[in-house]
Amino acid sequence: MYQELAITSDEALSLDELPKRVVILGGGYIAVEFASIWRGLGANVDLFYRKELPLRGFDDEMRAVVAKNLEGRGINLHPGTSLAELIKTEDGIRVLTDHGGEFMADVVLFATGRIPNTKRLNLEAVGVEVDKTGAIKVDEYSRTNVPSIWAVGDVTNRMNLTPVALMEGTCFSKTVFGGQPSKPDYKDIPCAVFCIPPMSVVGLSEQQALEEGKGDVLVFTSSFNPMKNTISGRQEKTFMKLVVDAETDKVLGASMCGPDAAEIMQGIAVALKCGATKAQFDSTVGIHPSAAEEFVTMRTLTRRVTAAVKPKTNL
């Protein structure tokens, strides 16, 4: 029944007409991005997810910023809630939640994740091993247990991002055809969630830095109204964050939610890949006026935390 009444992101890209009422189940990239798209086009959007905040796995403080911005854009958030039943009616799809809520929708999108599409490959016939999700098992060079067969990209379920698949393919090509054994490097990979406004991150979140036992962690944050919002009157702040190792001064992670976040974070990613320190960030002259300059002018410590202290939010 769900397959008859709900769609995935594949069908969401080929709808015949714009829905006026949308229900989305999920709190990841796809759910948040499509919620932003449909709301931006004027639809009423209800977003349901199981956790307290969307975008599980990202920095908790940044997740809270995104949630606040989604609400500010008029998206109805329903944390800790799932869907229990979908019923087709003359007026659309009646959606019942596990908390007893009832909603009407023209479109229901399930954005709860994907599993690797490997069943049709007949891998069993050649003895290629897969895990319980169907992902192809590979070593650090992307080789399967069958020496002549290699696999890269989402089908291996390592880090499911298009540029990562390209990196894996490049390393495969160098290893097999170039005579240069190359391993994909998954450290400090930048990524972005294209909600409105977008969020982009690179390196470790505050929580990850503490979990990895980095010792004392210094957190620098900045929140401000983008210049373009001053003209439009939109009350939506840009939020930036740097996570720094207190002992080495090395910048462990950077995050931003605001206009042009992905464009700015690409340059910050180069700095982290080179092992930049906070002192080097501070010694860099900013481009004025720009939002990006804030990353090299955040000199006031927001908080110092250790693994024994639960990180606080600044919101």
CATH number, domain containing residue 7: 3.50.50.60
Secondary structure (DSSP) of 21-80 = EEEEE--SHHHHHHHHHHHHTT-EEEEEESSSSSSTTS-HHHHHHHHHHHHHTT-EEEET
Residues 213 and 266 in one domain: yes
Residues 59 and 158 in one domain: no
In a domain, 312, yes or no: no
Kindly report whether the peptide bond that precedes residue 289 is cis, defined as omega within 30 degrees of 0.
yes
Is 109 buried (19+), middle (13-18) or exposed (0-12) by CB count in 10 A?
A: buried
Beta strand segments in 140-283, E = 191-193, 199-203, 217-224, 238-245, 251-257
Q: What is the pLDDT of residue 227?
A: 77
Q: Looking at the 3D structure of the chain, how many domains does it have?
A: 3
Q: What is the pLDDT of residue 313?
A: 56
Q: What is the pLDDT of residue 215?
A: 84
In a domain, 310, yes or no: no
Find tokens 């098992």 and name the residue. 137
In a domain, 252, yes or no: yes
**Per-residue tokens: 248:** 């080495």
Residues 169 and 215 in one domain: no
78 an active-site residue? Answer: no
- Are the C-beta atoms of 312 and 207 separated by less than 8 Å? no
Residues 217 and 282 in one domain: yes
Q: What is the pLDDT of residue 3?
A: 65
Residues 254 and 291 in one domain: yes
Q: Which residues of the chain have pLDDT under 70?
A: 1-3, 308-315
Cα–Cα distance measured from residue 297 to residue 291, given in angstroms and rounded to the nearest whole number: 11
The domain in which residue 201 lies consists of: 191-305
Residues 166 and 255 in one domain: no
Give the tens place of pLDDT for each residue, 185-201: 999 999 999 999 999 99
Q: What is the pLDDT of residue 1?
A: 44
Domain at 252, CATH number: 3.30.390.30
Cα–Cα distance measured from residue 144 to residue 286, given in angstroms and rounded to the nearest whole number: 47
In a domain, 80, yes or no: yes
Largest CA distance in the chain: 64
Work out the number of other CB atoms within 10 angstroms of the CB of residue 27.
25
- Are the C-beta atoms of 33 and 22 separated by less than 8 Å? no
End-of-domain residue from the set 110, 138, 161 = 110
| Predicted structure pTM score | 0.92
Given the residues 120, 187, 288, 299, select the one marked as catalytic: 288
First and final CA of the chain: distance in angstroms?
41
Q: What is the pLDDT of residue 219?
A: 98
In a domain, 18, yes or no: yes
**Per-residue tokens: 4:** 């008859």
Cα–Cα distance measured from residue 94 to residue 86, given in angstroms and rounded to the nearest whole number: 6
* DSSP three-state, residue 206: helix
* DSSP three-state, residue 168: helix
How far, CA to CA in Å, does 113 sit from each of 26, 133, 224, 304, 305? Answer: 8, 12, 34, 35, 33
Give the tens place of pLDDT for each residue, 171-229: 999 999 999 999 999 999 999 999 999 999 999 999 999 998 878 999 999 999 887 77
Q: What is the pLDDT of residue 233?
A: 74
